[in-house]
Amino acid sequence: MTTRKTAKMHDAAEGAEALTSPLLAASGFSHAFFTRRGGVSAPPWDTLSFAASVGDDPAAVRENLERAARRLGIPAARIYFLSQVHGVASRALQGDEDRDAVVHEVGDITLSGTPGVGCAVRSADCAPVFLADRRSGAVAAAHSGWRGTVLRVVVEAARALRSLAGPGAELIAAIGPHIEACCFEVGDDVAAELSACSGAGEAAVLRGAPGARPRVDLRRILKAQLAEAGLDAASVDDVRGCTACDPARFFSYRRDGQRSGRLLSAIVAGRTAIG
Ligand SMILES: [Zn+2]
């Protein structure tokens, strides 16, 4: 009994595990691509999951949000995410909105220029992408699965962020873990749509032996789209990880189905973490 209690307290002390972008960190942006480790949800949502809507205990999700908030350095009530639909709608946040109301709003981009507001997306194979303006401290988080990528959601996120931040924005970005080219097999129809949605073109589609399904390099497409939005290669960071073939660290819809966990990725407006 005593041993178990000690172990639990140790877990709590460790907190939510996350991957970060050196580029965003060097510019002072608090952010986290959370892994599935360091939360309290029971299987199959174990352990750091952020969606009660897929069957998880709401109390566990609330505790996971508290842990994420501690890691980000803001109150849990200031971490905002939407009901995502693989579209391009964005939601600008001031920080006085009710998080539990905002989660029912539909959209795939959260953004804010108010220091201390956490802009987040949830994913399980789709790509989380952060954008940040070094000049004003405004930030955006975008959710880009294959449908969102075809709709160029990161280009819309850059446009919305520039509009919010005003003239002279100096944007940087980071692309987080998602289903990478090792695992992202698609049908010919999806491959055709993805090869047509960026300057990367057919180079982002990997074709193996005749008869094998094509695989797609979403990261390459996202970089091409960010380049088209005015972010050169030096302004975009890769935070690597394949959700589908790393079950120890990530949830994957393709691997585990609907009844599985959802990862959180969040970036905080304002430049508070320099150094
Ligand atoms: Zn993989």
Q: What mean pLDDT comes out for the span 197-226?
A: 95
Smallest CA-to-CA distance from 69 within 268, 273, 249 is with 268
Q: How far apart are CA 167 and CA 162, in angstroms?
A: 7
The residue type at 150: V
| Residue 41 pLDDT exceeds 60 | yes
Q: How far is the CA of 46 from the centre of ligand 1 (A)?
A: 20
Q: How far is the CA of 239 from the centre of ligand 1 (A)?
A: 14
Q: Which domains does the chain have, with CATH numbers?
A: 2-267 (3.60.140.10)
Q: What mean pLDDT comes out for the span 269-273?
A: 78
Smallest CA-to-CA distance from 102 within 117, 114, 123 is with 117
Task: Report whether 243 contacts 251 (CB < 8 A).
Answer: yes
Q: How far is the CA of 22 from the centre of ligand 1 (A)?
A: 23
Q: How far is the CA of 187 from the centre of ligand 1 (A)?
A: 17
Helix (H/G/I), strand (E/B), else coil: 217: coil
User: Which residues face 131 on adjacent strands?
Assistant: 140, 173
Q: How far is the CA of 169 from the centre of ligand 1 (A)?
A: 35
Q: How far is the CA of 36 from the centre of ligand 1 (A)?
A: 16
Residue 46: pLDDT band with limits 50, 70, 90:
very high
Cβ-count burial of 41 within 10 angstroms (0-12 exposed, 13-18 middle, 19+ buried)? buried
Q: How far is the CA of 176 from the centre of ligand 1 (A)?
A: 14
Q: How far is the CA of 142 from the centre of ligand 1 (A)?
A: 21
What pLDDT is attached to residue 4? 45
Residue 1: pLDDT band with limits 50, 70, 90:
very low
Smallest CA-to-CA distance from 117 within 151, 157, 78, 163 is with 78
In terms of phi and psi (left: phi > 0; alpha: psi -120 to 50; beta: otherwise), the region of 9 is: alpha
Q: How far is the CA of 145 from the centre of ligand 1 (A)?
A: 15
What pLDDT is attached to residue 77? 97
